[in-house]
Each structure stands twice: as C-alpha cells, then as structure tokens.
C-alpha cells in the first residue's frame, strides 16, 4: 500500500512540475493568427525557450499584452533583437508611401499576427520585452481534426 501511495505522490509531483515549469495549454481567441490558429483552438506551449532565450524568427509565442497586462496574446515572431524592421505608415492613407524602420532593442521581440489586417501587434505598440513572453507554442492540440506541430 505504501509503494502505491508513493508512486501516486511521485506521479502527481512530476505532473505538477511539468505543467508549472515545463509547459501548459492555452485557449486562443481573436482572429489575428488565422489561418494558423483560430478562436477556440487549444495550443501547447513550453517555457524552456523563454528561459534559455532561444526564441527565433518564425516561432509563435504567448505573451502578456503590453497594452492590457492581464491578457495574453498569441503572435508570430518576425524580428529578434538587433533586427531592423521596415514599417509603413498605415494610419493615414495620405502617408501610405512613407517608410521608416525601427531597430528591435536588446531583450525584445517584434511580433505580428498571421492575419495582419486583423492584428494589433508590434506594428502598433512596438517590440515586446522578453519579460512579457510566457511561452513558445509547439503544437495545436484542439480541435482533434487539426492537430499539428507549430
């Protein structure tokens, strides 16, 4: 009986550590990542890439919104520290042909939604500090018909 209880405690401890320090599930909302991730999709994200600062261009990350810190966002990394990001003035049609660039500072990521017309991202609020990044998305696990590695 003692061995059975000990195994149960060890299994519970391993599960706790896995989901507290290793990975977690996130339910996505919003249209900004369509056609990769849709509202209601559940993704699995891991923390190690954040701790080791090994996030690279093309990765999809979960981060706290710089504008609404109680909300998480899901976007694709399009620039890492040191990159120069081209930018077009999109706020006023009169200035659509004006281009400028911005440098992604040290310790920051430039993130954009795959559905750029429905996304509020680094083009609006600037590069995201690494400290706001919660994890890197590694797989979409719901709905079952669309399970895939990201």
Would you name the residues annotated as active-site residues?
32, 75
CA distance linking residue 33 with residue 51, whole number of Å:
24
Say if residue 75 is exposed, middle or buried (CB neighbours under 10 Å; 0-12, 13-18, 19+): buried
Q: What is the DSSP string of 119-142?
A: --SHHHH-PEEGGGEEEEEEEEEE
CA distance linking residue 136 with residue 47, whole number of Å:
7
CA distance linking residue 65 with residue 20, whole number of Å:
21
CA distance linking residue 47 with residue 132, whole number of Å:
12
């Amino acid at each position: 009986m003692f061995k059975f209880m000990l195994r149960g405690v060890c299994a519970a401890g391993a599960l706790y550590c896995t989901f507290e320090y290793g990975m977690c599930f996130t339910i996505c909302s919003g249209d900004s990542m369509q056609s990769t991730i849709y509202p209601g999709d559940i993704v699995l994200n891991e923390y190690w890439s954040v701790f080791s600062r090994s996030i690279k261009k093309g990765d999809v990350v979960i981060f706290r919104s710089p504008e609404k810190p109680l909300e998480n966002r899901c976007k694709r990394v399009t620039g890492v520290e040191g990159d120069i990001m081209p930018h077009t003035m999109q706020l006023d049609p009169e200035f659509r042909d004006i281009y400028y660039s911005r440098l992604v500072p040290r310790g920051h990521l430039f993130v954009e939604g795959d559905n750029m017309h429905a996304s509020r991202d680094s083009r609006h609020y600037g590069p995201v500090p690494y400290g706001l990044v919660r994890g890197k998305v590694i797989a979409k696990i719901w709905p079952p018909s669309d399970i895939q590695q990201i």
